[in-house]
Amino acid sequence: MNDEVNELVPRLYEALRGQALRYAAQHGGSMHPSSVVQEVWIKLSRAETLSFHSEAHFSAVAARAMRQVLADRARLRGRAKRGGGLERVALDNLGAEPALVDTVAIETALSRLEAARPRAAQIVELRVFGGLTLEEMGEVLQLSAGTIKREWRVARAFLIDALS
């Protein structure tokens, strides 16, 4: 792992652990936050060319890794139980109530959105898997708050359609 990551680890470990704790609460305790964070760190440490411009940029990369870890776990659990007991992700702001969505379903929908609207998919990933604020997303993507809000509305409509 490069020096930039080593400097960020102490400050960001707790933020990632907090995100993993939120997922654990949403999943009814079926996952262990520490093990998810460890898998994310392992995934990040294997990348030799990582370079981060800011903590928000690091959070964006970690959000992608967390998405991958959670999707991989959900797929394995689904195979093990032949479709039963799949992990679920809470998607806020999709409707009147937060929706609990099968992690594999959201991964599939995000992959489709990514093919059609990469920036909108990245905003969903940063918001759902990274927990980034509007300002942090703007910093990472170098976009205005207005552009991020518009892309979120597009992504939200796409996900509502894809997941209903």
Q: Return d(Cα 10, Cα 148) in angstroms, integer.
A: 29
Do 86 and 73 form a contact (C-beta atoms < 8 A)?
no
* pLDDT (tens place) for every residue of the chain, 164 residues total: 556 656 666 767 777 777 777 666 655 555 677 777 788 877 777 765 666 677 777 777 878 888 888 777 777 766 545 444 445 555 554 554 455 567 778 888 999 999 999 999 999 888 877 778 888 889 888 999 999 999 999 998 998 888 87
Tokens encoding 152? 């979120």
pLDDT at 85: 45
> 62 lies in which domain range?
3-163
Number of domains in the chain: 1
* CB contact at 8 A, 61 and 50: yes
